[in-house]
Structure formats: structure tokens, C-alpha cells
Amino acid sequence: MATNIALVGPGAVGTTVAALLSRAGHSVVVCGRTPRESIELRPDGADPIVVPGPVHTDPGDVSGPVDVVLLAVKATQNDQAAGWLARLCDVHTIVVVLQNGVEQVEQVQPHCPRSPVIPGIVWYSAETQPDGWVRLRGEAALVLPSGPSAETVAELLRGAGCRVDCDPDIITAGWRKLLTNALAGFMALSRRRSGMFRRDDVAALSRRYLAECLAVARAEGARLPDGIADELTDLFRNAPEDMGTSILTDAENHRPMEWDVRNGVIIRKARAHGLATPISDVVVPLLAAASDGPG
């Protein structure tokens, strides 16, 4: 069982996993951009978990390699995390990429070419609060691929209280999450939380957009059901009205958004298959402009 663990990127997603591992008795080296004495998770209905720091900000200050790296920076920050990966990884290090999108392995592997890289699909709602602590709503759940490296990580995380499924069809699992992320982009454009999907007009638009995304997903090999557009639209309509998403948080705080790995990828993959994306052709430029300007 792997015991030496490092977290790179102590945002909401990373803090959640690191805190659960810490509560289970594991020592987690926390690496980020901002020095802090500790990081804190407050699960709904449970006691807060404080992970002792410090949060390291210089790769030269940590010892490596480690057994497992949890890479939880935004996909837009992979290049900035390269120094951490170089310090922490060797041929025996398993890198778990807790990021959005369906291109995690191809984007991260060049930064740690000797290490096995596995995508981690995050299915939990965690939000960083203004005071810096992270709120976790519900159970921490992840999907990993099948295989020895993934099973090693799954055993580690299950022992910490995470629900982890190892899915041999990681393509379908990844695209299911991507469709969810893509639809959440509507919240960033409207600056509204999930209550907006209770509007019938927004729900109708959501179904049309997801049908467009589904065609691309299937062309890429995902075996998603016909009813996925209704299923995911209902997921957002039935969520708490104040439920947010990381892309909305970035928009509200005027930070660059992951519009390309969550929404732009739909257009890029569609073009490779000769598929039309009329709704994406409107959504993606608006998200890009909201994220990156100018203006």
C-alpha cells in the first residue's frame, strides 16, 4: 500500500481528498501557490478536518519521489505544476489527475513521462468558501480506470472513506462527466447557480445542447444512453438552487476559466468527425471571451 502522498493543488477538489486521507492517518505533503499553515475541509454533517501544513510553494523544499501524487490544479495550470511533478515523480510514482475534461493523460504525461498517469473523475461537490475552508456537500466519490495502478489508488482512497469505482470503460465514464461539466458552463455565462435550470426555457436549451454533445461523445467511442440529455438536465433541475460549480466560481472571481477542456473540446472533437455543433459555436466563444477577454 502506498504511504507517501503529495497533493499538488489544494483547491476544493484536492483539499477534499487530502483531508480524508489525513483523517485516515496518512501524512500528505501539500504543494500550492499560496503559503498557508493548514488547509481545512468541512463536510456537511460531520466534524471539520484540518490538514496540517505548511503548504509548500517551492518544489525545492519537498522531498521526492513519493508513491502517489494527487494532481488537482486546474487543467489550465498543468504547465505551472511541471516543477512539482519533476520533483515528486519517478517510475514508481502513480499520478492521479483530478481534473475536468477527457484529455488528462495526454496533457499531464509529458510532465512526468516515467510515471503511470491515471485520470480521476470527480463526482462530488466541494466549494472553497471566502474564509478559505472548503465545504463538501455529500459523499466524496470518484471514478478511476481499471488496472493495477488505479486499483492501488482505489484501495488507498476507499480506506479514507471515499467511494471509488474502477470502470473498465473509462471513455464512457469520462464523457458522462464531460457532458455534465459542459452544461455547467451555462452557469458561468449567466452568473447563476443551479436554480437557473428550473426555468423551462433553460431546460429545453440544455437538452438540445447535450444532444449535440452526445453525438460527439459517441463518435469518440463513449457508450452513453439515449436518455442522457434528460438525465443530466434533471440532475441540474433537481439540485439545490444554490449549488455552484468551479467554472462559476472562477467567473465570479475573475479568474481564467477551464472553458477549453470543458466546452471547447466538444468543438475540437466534433470537427475531427465532421459533426456540426451550432450551440457550441455560440457557447464556446462567449465563455472564452468571459474568461480571457479582451474588454
Whether residues 204 and 124 share a domain: the answer is no
- Can you give the CATH number for the domain in which 279 is found? 1.10.1040.10
Residue 295 lies inside a defined structural domain of this protein? no
CA distance 140 to 125: 8
Q: What does the pLDDT look like over 77-107, one tens digit per residue?
A: 999 999 999 999 999 999 999 999 999 999 9
Residue 68 lies inside a defined structural domain of this protein? yes
Q: What does the pLDDT look like over 191-230, one tens digit per residue?
A: 999 999 999 999 999 999 999 999 999 999 999 999 999 9
Whether residues 113 and 66 share a domain: the answer is yes
Domain with 64 in it? 5-167
- Can you give the CATH number for the domain in which 133 is found? 3.40.50.720
Residue type at 26 in one-letter notation: H
Whether residues 116 and 176 share a domain: the answer is no
Residue 217 lies inside a defined structural domain of this protein? yes
Please, is 278 exposed, middle or buried when counting C-beta atoms within 10 Å of its C-beta (0-12, 13-18, 19+)? exposed
Whether residues 162 and 232 share a domain: the answer is no
Task: List residues with catalytic annotation.
Answer: 177
What residue has cell string 480571457? Answer: 292
CA angle, 98 then 148 then 79, to 5°: 30
* pTM of full prediction above 0.85: yes
E-strand stretches of the chain: 5-8, 28-31, 38-43, 49-52, 68-71, 94-97, 117-119, 121-122, 125-128, 134-137, 141-145, 163-167
77's grid cell? 495550470
Whether residues 193 and 154 share a domain: the answer is no
